[in-house]
Chains A and B, each alone.
Chain A
């Protein structure tokens, strides 16, 4: 009996070593942006808050009006991203200043929603666009828990709900058109391009007007980098960007997960161990019975 217990503890210690230590030691490799990654660049200093982008987005994506906000049910007046709204202009307060800020999916380089999704309904598609395929979605909403930007929204009002989020107008891109929001912006406050071009453009704008901007391009490194980039004249926290760490959200979770389940060896070993101990216990019992 004691030998089996010792064997078990030894096994547990081995299993623990197998699982925890590699998890801590071998962090997963950092995911870098793909060469053809496309995205948006939004510049607070150019935006006049006309909301043409919100309207164009609704038109392009066939989204209904959101009349729940102000305006006594007459106006499409979304206050934030929701099941009817894939992009929105908000007003942010910062000390004595105000700023507009456009919200939509950030198209992360290493998206938490994609890491969360069981069957790949949320996936990193062509050009690194974070895309959604309802046919594989069970509606678990784990993507909403995972997204650090609070982007994916669920159609709470529907009986056959889907997830709603900006997919960078991938159907328009396929037809050679630009994303609807960038197409209509009268001040080029939001522009479309490859991530590399947009980064270069953003750097030039900061260099040309150093006093005008916060000296940072949000999305260059934040949370593992995003394909939508921001320039701002007010601190990014005031625009609603809560996080400035550079590690992506899935990084820790996947390092741990990969550590435990590498090659599925630890579970198989544990199963064999459990079975072996039980087999041995049972044989011992039989022998004891025979002896009596």
Chain B
């Protein structure tokens, strides 16, 4: 196994790849159409449910799954576990793509995107009380930081970069530190954001601890995402799997998920809201689905010291689903705008989201094949 990253090589336009490109093209066509017909004509959004699939899936859930870079950076740079270093580059790439797509989704979702540039520049108008402002500024900055973190991988094969890269290397720890600070800030603020839904958010979700819960949630999802990405790369590119590392990362995902459940239950206990979870309505049920999905991986971890790859994968899947569901519920299901409002995404909303995810995957595959991102694979050359 080689420790240093190398391009995977091989032909780009495989059959699967063409499907991704086609779905991406459909998505782009629909995005252009959305700007011609407006949001009313292209989405199922309403004054009752002003935030829909794009925000909930691509931004709120997508960025949490893109926290692999953040979660792994904590392991490698803070807990100083250098052996995980080969997993960092692909995780950073996944994060950079996930966050870039989230940014693009926001631009599509905004009613007046031509005013977007004012967010970072109208400093005098900044409303520092707005959790959304914090999220917007942090995500903009973080996209930038992620691509800088990734730039050595992308630039190393070009001559002009030979001078810049050593300088960048020295400064990089401060960029990486920023790459850990920014997600801590905006992932928690994604939770604070829904504090403003206030009494319209179901009491099982509405708690002053929303920022902490969202932060813990994104860490567990980040570890799960690294497990996914590593498994995917091994299946797709014949990369050698570092099973012991994946076991540890899956353990991290499971125990952070457990911490999430523990914090949530203690909070509900202290505020006398525990009985609410026994109500057998939609809210009670989705609450338990979230909780059980978070706890199943802990059971996996406790039941076997050397789990099979399948078990590791399923554990990661549970954590990712649990976190995704928690975020969907906080933004859509547990949000009650009052009688008479309904929301289910329109076909074009769905295909724009699918298109964006396809583009994300396609760019990932292309970059991995042409640039030194992955380490430890059996090279085809």
Residues of A within 8 A of B (CB): 1, 4-5, 8, 20, 23-24, 82-83, 112, 114-120, 134-142, 144-146, 148, 150, 152-162, 240, 242-243, 245, 249-250, 252-257, 260-261, 267, 270-271, 274-275, 277-279, 281-282, 284-285
Contact = CB atoms under 8 A, between A and B. Distances in A.
Contact of A115 (B77, B110, B130, B181): B130
A143 B193 CA distance: 11
A253 B199 contact: no
Nearest to B179: A274
Interface of B: 35-41, 45-48, 50-51, 77-80, 82, 109-113, 115-116, 118-119, 122, 125-134, 136, 173-174, 176-178, 180-181, 184-185, 188, 192-200, 208, 210-212, 335, 337-338
B78 A252 contact: no
A282 B78 CA distance: 10
Contacts of A112: 196, 198
A271 B141 CA distance: 15
Contacts of B116: 138
A267 B185 contact: yes
For the complex, would chain B's binding face be called helix, strand, loop or mixed by DSSP majority? helix
Contacts of A1: 80
Given A137-B112, A145-B335, A156-B45, A250 B38 contact: no
Contacts of B82: 285
Contacts of B173: 275, 278-279, 282
A150 B338 contact: yes
A278 B80 CA distance: 8
A145 B197 contact: yes
B130 A117 contact: yes
Contacts of A117: 127, 130
A256 B189 CA distance: 10
A93 B192 CA distance: 36
B47 A154 contact: yes
29 contacts: A4-B78, A23-B208, A118-B127, A118-B132, A119-B126, A119-B133, A137-B111, A142-B51, A142-B130, A144-B50, A145-B197, A150-B337, A153-B47, A154-B47, A155-B111, A156-B46, A157-B38, A160-B112, A243-B199, A250-B196, A253-B192, A256-B211, A260-B192, A261-B134, A267-B185, A270-B184, A275-B177, A278-B78, A278-B177
B198 A249 contact: yes
A114 B132 CA distance: 12
A82 B47 contact: yes
Contacts of B200: 148
Counting chain B CB atoms within 10 Å of each CB, the highest count among A141, A162, A275 belongs to: A141
Residue picked from A120, A140, A271, most chain B C-beta under 10 Å: A140
Contact of A156 (B39, B125, B181): B39
B8 to A, nearest CB: 29
Contacts of A150: 47-48, 337-338
B192 A138 contact: no
A157 B45 CA distance: 11
Given A82-B47, A148-B199, A274 B78 contact: yes
Contact of A146 (B79, B115, B178, B196): B196
Nearest to A255: B208
Nearest to B121: A119
Contacts of A250: 129, 196
B198 A252 contact: yes
Contacts of B188: 260
A150 B174 CA distance: 44
Contacts of B47: 82-83, 144, 150, 152-154, 156
A138 B113 contact: yes
